[in-house]
Amino acid sequence: MKQSHLNIVSHAKKRAKKLSKISAQPYMQCLDSVAKELGFADFHDLQQKRSQPTKKKPSAASIDKHHAMMEKCIWHCIAEDTLTYKDESSLEVLGFDYLGRKVIQDNGEGRTYSRGELTEIYLKLLDSEIDSSADLHWIEWLTRRAIDKEAMKQYGYQLRNDESGDKKVIGIIFVSLGHYYRSLMDNCAHKIAEHINFKQYFSVWLRSMYSEDTKDEIANMLMEEYPIDVSQTLPRNVTSWAPRWWLEEQGRI
């Protein structure tokens, strides 16, 4: 049996053990349930690997499973029904006032976006890795002005305290979403022009918020689902991500 398949079997056993403890269902029944989640007929089929896995259904800990709830949360957290964005070319800096604030003259009408359009844009941001080709002014406006990141986190905190396992998962995802958009905002404000996508961020954010030996079953399940696949992680309780080269340049590591 190949090492990668051994890892799947080990993962299934761990998940089944936790599921049995939480649900009080027999361990063997939980093994079959977990195997089906992974695309096999049952645990025996997984062990024998007699058939190729069917398309894997999103597990309870999968971000993809909760896409509709994420979309709904983003929609509710957009600041207004319509918002107008003006790019840098339409804004002229005339000088500074006595407090050192920029005095800006608006030379253009800008583009107005509906709540629905902005929701689609925010969802696309989750899959994007920011690089030097990105419009940093646009992304900073989106993440600073147009969405209520604190409200997003508050929705998450409320759900995280629910008795339902699914709602706890959604709650943790919502809290991470709020931090992710804040991290993008900080990244663009500092003109770093390098940022990981949401799933990559979620994996390092979880380990910043929860220790590897946490007793939180939901956090453990999420960390199993999202192993770290980036070189630069987050220090404990830090939520804004930046690449190593920038942290070294700033003397932060």
Phi/psi class of residue 32: alpha, beta or left (left: φ > 0; alpha: ψ in -120 to 50)?
alpha
**Same domain, yes or no: 25 and 129:** no
234 and 115, same structural domain? yes
- Calpha distance 103→60 (Å, rounded): 50
**Structural domain count, the chain:** 2
56 lies in some domain: no
Give the domain range for residue 142.
64-249
Q: Which residues, at least 6 apart from 55, have a Cβ–Cβ distance to it below 8 Å?
A: 39
pLDDT in tens, the chain (253 residues): 433 444 677 777 888 888 888 888 888 888 888 888 777 788 887 777 644 444 555 566 789 999 999 999 999 999 999 998 877 555 555 567 666 665 555 566 778 999 999 999 999 999 988 999 999 999 999 999 899 999 999 999 999 988 888 899 999 999 999 999 999 999 999 999 999 999 999 999 999 999 878 888 899 999 999 998 788 899 999 999 999 999 999 998 7
In a domain, 124, yes or no: yes
Residues 6+ apart with CB under 8 A from 84: 109, 110, 111, 112, 113
- CB neighbour list of residue 70: distance below 8 Å, 6 or more residues apart: 63, 123, 126, 173, 174, 177
* pTM recorded for the entire structure: 0.72
* Residue 197, token pair as written in the block: 């996508």
Q: Give the pLDDT of residue 3.
A: 37
Do 136 and 210 share a domain, yes or no?
A: yes
**Structure confidence at residue 216 (pLDDT):** 87
- Give domain status of residue 59, yes or no: no
Could you tell me if 126 and 12 lie in one domain? no
Cβ-based neighbours of 74, under 8 Å, separated by 6 or more: 119, 122, 123, 147, 152, 177
**Residue 232's closest CA among 213, 204, 198?**
204
Cα dihedral 12, 17, 18, 22 in deg (nearest 10):
130
pLDDT, position 164: 81
Q: In Å, how far from its chain's centre is CA 55?
A: 23
* pLDDT at residue 45, rounded to an integer: 79
202 and 172 within one domain: yes
pLDDT of residue 189: 93
Q: Please provide residue 195's backbone torsions phi and psi, each rounded to the nearest 5 degrees.
A: -155, 140
